[in-house]
Structure 1
Amino acid sequence: MPSLSRADTSIVGRWWWSVDRVTMMALAVLLGIGYVLALAAMPSITLHLSDPHTQDMIKQIGFLVIGGLTMVGLSMLSLRQVKLAALGMGIIFYLLTAFTLLHGTEVDGAKRWLSLPGFTIQPSEFLRPAFIIVIGWCIAESRRTPGFPGRRAALAVFIATAALLKMQPDIGTTFLFTMIVFTQFYLDGMEMKWVAGAGVLVALAGVYAFFFITHVHTRVMMFIDPPKGSQAQTALMAFGNGGMFGLGPGEGQVKHFLPDARADFVFAVAGEEFGLFFCAFIIAVFAAIVLRALVRLLGEPNLFVVLAAGGLIAGFGFQAFVNMASSLSLIPTKGMTLPFISYGGSSALAISIQMGFLLALTRKRHAGDTQ
């Protein structure tokens, strides 16, 4: 890429000089960490190609490669292409998410997955980035086009999506979607009385979930009074075992005792095998991506870009926070993956699409490029 001149008017040339290369490099660092932990989170056994653990490792690395290429490809889209791609994705994956209610694979009482030859897919993961952009588009259009009921349309999309996720049920993703929509309406200039009202509704929903949704109640109670040998306690022991510099790649023990070590508790694997400084570095990379995106949005005149990109980066940051905070027992455990680092093809590809859209939205544009 250094050979590209600013005078280069090709698609790649225009993309290279307009994309946020700092954010792109930070995302590449996360992908690299994902490769390392795809190896480290595997049990230390002989790595034969016929071994299921080896196949899982190779499959995850393949998903990360595809995700990186997808992210770069999507970052080249124009604003109009981002909108159309998100609308198409939203329709397809909303229908697929609904299809899981009828023919989904049930795991722990929830139907969130579709089984396909050779792999499974969680459609709601792919619905999220499309959902965020469509919501931002509706809200922005209500200001751009007088009389267009954009905010009501945005609320209708949110309610339809939240109701579908609740039916799976997927309380964590429903809550994540709710916080993203709240952020987008706040960025649009929501009055403080509505902010307070929304906060009360979220609090009441949390109280309802605690008393009437069994697995939510169980997780909260385990957080308040964790039993001996719980996943949260085991994860904390992993951080203690790792100390400052870790035990070394493949030397950790937590992955042998935690059923979700490669996904929900991959941060604990990083802490045990690579230590406190490596974990601090991971947190710094996530923080840098979020802050960099927010800084770029401060001077953005296009409301659609502010709302869509703001929602994308809020979802990215909140998901990372929930995963790492639950691993550290700062909040109740919740099955959210750590972007680019946790094991899972759906997660890796979906977050790559989300960040590809973000890079496309935050590219430098000419003053007239508002579509």
Structure 2
Amino acid sequence: MPVQKTKPKKPDFILLFASVILLSIGLIMVLSAGSLFSFNETDNSFFLFYKQLRWACLGLVAAFIAVLIPYKFWKKFSGIGIVVSIFLLLMVEFSNLAVTAKGSARWLKILGVSVQPSEIAKFSLVLFLAYILNRYPVKKLKDLILPLSVMGVILLLVYKQPDLGTAIVILLACGAMLLMTELPLGYFLAAILLFGIPGFFLVKNTEYQWNRILGWLYPWKYASTFGFQIVNAQIAFGTGGLLGIGIGQSSKNGYLPENYTDTIFAVIGEEFGFFGTTFVLICFILLIARAYMISRQCPDRYGRLLGFGISSLLALQTAVNLCVVTGIFPVTGITLPLISYGGSSLLITMFEIGILLNISRYRQSEKGI
């Protein structure tokens, strides 16, 4: 396919538009879904909304900076990012700064601000792999020793929090990046077995993870325990029908757990109905499809790897969250990008989108597109 070289241009409008729409929807839904919790905890119905709005403003600044700085600049932070990520993940495991919620220690409280190291680790690992796979192309199995070793350390530390959902997203996103190498497919199948078989037995021997699988397989049998979240998400979708019951009128008033984080898409379904959820899905499809297209059109291998890795993180996190809330997958604790409440996730996601927008300024135009 003939390729026409172009000078740096304006950031991709479609990616920018979809991102802004989803961010706006997210702020509205955090206000709607989180108002009752905010009032019960602080006597201020806007508490969570204001916190998310502050993170959104920081995210916009981060995205703006990323749009202005050439994406190749981030190469020099590949190693530093991994070191910082491992250090922060170890702090979650061993320091008294770790914050535990519902049996999981996934956050650090630093200067009064909660930070989720696994979100930083996800991006850092993609940044590292993009640099390594570009600098040292994989031609033999031994060339995978370094990237797989770093992946293994990050995955183990994330799983130990415990956060199996994030570990799976990281594994699949990095696996997608490795597929861009020249190794035969058989090696990837072997890698899947290498990580997959021990992973299955880890889940099987971890009670709360196995209970989540039981709740997924038999949600109505365990409707009051392991299947509670899945069952009530289905009820929320059913209640919403085609048009929804109206903003602020949803199951935030009682029965839907994690309604401003993990299951916020079910709140959208209940308040805005089938048409509302369809609109959100279209926005995500636009964002993700455009992200992959921008990555494919990048003129150099590093940019393609970096863009593909970021696109895969966004696509997988979105897909896993939507599959969980609709009952296709077991509960994982993965949030919905740009929509769910969560400062670290929102900030990192917007920074990643900023990098994609910067890559779009240098992409090559292909005839027929």
State TM-score, norm by structure 1.
Answer: 0.87
Choose which of 206, 209, 228 in structure 1 pairs with 2:223: 228
- Tell me whether 1:198 sits opposite 2:198 in the alignment: no
Gaps in structure 1 of 5+ consecutive residues? 1-13
The answer to whether the Cα contact below 8 Å between 1:138 and 1:151 also exists between their aligned partners in 2 is no
Superposed CA deviations along residues 260-311 of structure 1, whole A, max 9, x for unmatched, are 1100000011111111111111111111111112223334341111211111
Q: Which residue of the partner structure matches residue 4 of structure 2? A: none
Give 1:28-39 correspondences, 5 Å limit: 28-39=20-31
- Tell me whether 1:90 sits opposite 2:50 in the alignment: no
Q: Which residue of the partner structure matches residue 347 of structure 1? A: 345
Per the alignment, do residues 64 and 194 of structure 1 end up closer, same or farther by CA in structure 2, a change over 3 Å counting?
same
User: How far has the Cα of 1:202 moved from its partner?
Assistant: 4.3
Give the counterpart letter for 1:110 in structure 2: S
Give the counterpart letter for 1:111 in structure 2: A
Give the secondary-structure state (helix, strand or coil) at the position aligned to 1:19. Answer: coil
Q: Which residue of the partner structure matches residue 101 of structure 2? A: 107
User: How far has the Cα of 1:28 moved from its partner?
Assistant: 0.9
Give 1:216-255 correspondences, 5 Å limit: 216-226=209-219, 227-229=222-224, 230-254=228-252
Choose which of 112, 116, 119 in structure 1 pairs with 2:110: 116
Task: Give the alignment's Cα RMSD to 1 decimal.
Answer: 2.7
User: How far has the Cα of 1:85 moved from its partner?
Assistant: 4.0
Give the secondary-structure state (helix, strand or coil) at the position aligned to 1:210. Answer: helix
Per the alignment, do residues 359 and 299 of structure 1 end up closer, same or farther by CA in structure 2, a change over 3 Å counting?
closer
Give the secondary-structure state (helix, strand or coil) at the position aligned to 1:300. Answer: coil
User: How far has the Cα of 1:178 moved from its partner?
Assistant: 1.0
Q: Which residue of the partner structure matches residue 9 of structure 1? A: none
The answer to whether the Cα contact below 8 Å between 1:44 and 1:250 also exists between their aligned partners in 2 is no
Give 1:312-327 correspondences, 5 Å limit: 312-327=310-325
User: What is the rounded CA distance, in whole Å, between the counterparts of 1:49 and 1:233 in structure 2?
Assistant: 26
User: What is the rounded CA distance, in whole Å, between the counterparts of 2:364 and 2:186 in structure 1?
Assistant: 37
Superposed CA deviations along residues 161-185 of structure 1, whole A, max 9, x for unmatched, are 1222233222222111111111011
Q: Which residue of the partner structure matches residue 180 of structure 2? A: 187
User: What is the rounded CA distance, in whole Å, between the counterparts of 1:90 and 1:75 in structure 2?
Assistant: 23
User: What is the rounded CA distance, in whole Å, between the counterparts of 2:28 and 2:18 in structure 1?
Assistant: 16
Choose which of 166, 171, 179 in structure 2 pairs with 1:173: 166
Choose which of 120, 132, 143 in structure 2 pairs with 1:138: 132
User: What is the rounded CA distance, in whole Å, between the counterparts of 2:42 and 2:208 in structure 1?
Assistant: 37
Choose which of 67, 71, 74 in structure 1 pairs with 2:63: 71
Q: Percent identity?
A: 25
Choose which of 17, 37, 42 in structure 1 pairs with 2:34: 42
Per the alignment, do residues 246 and 336 of structure 1 end up closer, same or farther by CA in structure 2, a change over 3 Å counting?
same
- Tell me whether 1:157 sits opposite 2:164 in the alignment: no
Choose which of 289, 292, 295 in structure 2 pairs with 1:294: 292
User: How far has the Cα of 1:41 moved from its partner?
Assistant: 0.7
Q: Which residue of the partner structure matches residue 3 of structure 1? A: none
User: How far has the Cα of 1:108 moved from its partner?
Assistant: 3.1
User: How far has the Cα of 1:331 moved from its partner?
Assistant: 0.9
The answer to whether the Cα contact below 8 Å between 1:172 and 1:335 also exists between their aligned partners in 2 is yes
Q: Which residue of the partner structure matches residue 49 of structure 2? A: 57
User: What is the rounded CA distance, in whole Å, between the counterparts of 2:149 and 2:36 in structure 1?
Assistant: 49
